[in-house]
Amino acid sequence: MATTHPVRRSHNTSATTTPATSDTTSAAATYELPTAAKYFAGGLRLALGWTFLWAFLDKLFGLGHETAKADAWINGGSPTQGFLAFAAKGPFKGFYNDIAGATWADWLFMIGLAGIGLALILGVFMNLAAISGSVLLVMMWTVVLPPENNLFMDDHLIYAGLLGLLALIGAGSYLGLGSMWERMPFVQKMHIFR
């Protein structure tokens, strides 16, 4: 009786099959993304990484886009105070109002923005970036429930889904350092570091 195996991601340039084992007669096929899809995924990863990194830089230095220079973190401003204290609504409003401007919340938020942004831009730690980025994005989504233009869906949830997809297809290897990163011994031992 033939057993069907799931399609697996491969970074090889050609599709391969594995030989049948014991009583199975089928082989597991490996799927390779088309070249255009690889570059598209790499470009999306870079764009999303820049979104996180820009938010970090703007809040750190007060570059004047969303954060005024006087409100910059390096000038004593709080990166969480404004959004969590004044924009929060819905069922979690009280929780977010309570942590707005807390030193620990500021540090976690800024470390998260910088770490996720750098990981995505470089194409390393994609699994950790996808998990932590999705948690951060879903939390930001819960700050403003229900969303302004939809019953439940907004860009935070779409970005969280995109992060998961980019990690699953190994997008760190496309226009990034992911292929080299995944060959490192400690990364091969601990899949969460991929």
128 and 174 together in one domain = yes
Q: How many domains does the chain have?
A: 2
What is the full DSSP assignment across 58-105? HHHHT-SSSS-GGG-GGGT--TTHHIIIII-BGGGHHHHHHHTT-HHH
> Which residues constitute the domain of residue 38?
34-193
Under 8 Å between Cβ of 190 and 128: no
91 and 121 together in one domain = yes
28 and 88 together in one domain = no
pLDDT confidence bin for 29, thresholds 50/70/90 = low
52 and 15 together in one domain = no
One-letter amino acid identity for 34? P
Q: pTM here?
A: 0.81
- The mean per-residue pLDDT over the stretch 159-186 comes to 93
26 and 78 together in one domain = no
**What digits encode the pLDDT tens for the residues 138-149?**
999 999 999 988
**What digits encode the pLDDT tens for the residues 171-180?**
999 999 988 9
80 and 123 together in one domain = yes
7 and 28 together in one domain = yes
